[in-house]
Structure 1
Amino acid sequence: MLISRIRRIASPKKALATTAVAAAAAGLALTAAPAQAASADSASQAQAIAHQMIPDAAQYNAFSNIVSHESGWNVTATNSSSGAYGLVQALPGSKMASAGGNWQTSAKTQIKWGLDYMNSRYGSPAAAWSFWQTHHWY
């Protein structure tokens, strides 16, 4: 089915409505992106947040090395086999709710939880990185 072009657009709302009607007539569906995708922090934003939260260069570098290996600084990274989630690959990811209700999309919340975990289990991000280098997990 051929859809004719709209030569003149009176307003963005009208253009969207016209496109939706045309798509529906053609048997297509328009869907919105997931809400969490719009609020998820980018890798560079997550790194900047971590840098602010971890002022010591050695500790930041260790934390960064772990996160780079675990998630590539992707706030919504999910391990398909284990279900580990987020920057620090918490398992289950819902454990990060203890650091904030926005744990699924907030780099700051995930970093806070990850730092608390590394400090309580290993003593520091540097010690966690040392363990990671030997075992390839932490």
Structure 2
Amino acid sequence: MAQGLSLHPAFQRVGPAVVPKLDKTLHKVSGGRVMIGQMMLPMVMLEHTGAKSGLARRTPLATMPDGDGFWLVGSNYGRHDHPAWTANLLAHPDVAVVHHGKRQELRARLVDGAERDAIWPKLTAFWPGYAEYQKMNEPGSEHGRVLRVFRLDPRPA
């Protein structure tokens, strides 16, 4: 049901502008424990640095937890542009996430090639919407792009 809702044209128009703002507010008032998106998927609040501005940013994102790290997909709700947070991670890979009220210092790494090919089926099994968002952006089409995949792991000591 959640996947169908996220792909509905009405949600595609309104959801991307509304849901992140609500998630940020709920996250703040709940001490980092509650976001709307958690009704569908595990969520993190990504704390990162703007690629151009250098300013601190906070972005609520769906995540696939994996051991002591996380997987993030730059789906941008199926839109044709990469989400801004992905450029920020490419420029400034040291990030933090708040997951269930606990803050962790991590380092982001873009995953591509064979490694991306290996994790993609797990990511799309976890959230089938990713496969649909990729279909909406088929490489080679006018607005084609490959959805960026990032692995977040604890920073080395």
Taking structure 2 as the reference length, the TM-score comes to 0.20
TM-score (norm 1): 0.22
Higher relative contact order (CA 8 A, sep 6+): 2
Which one has a larger percent helix, Structure 1 or Structure 2?
1
In our comparison, the structure showing a higher alpha carbon Rg is 1
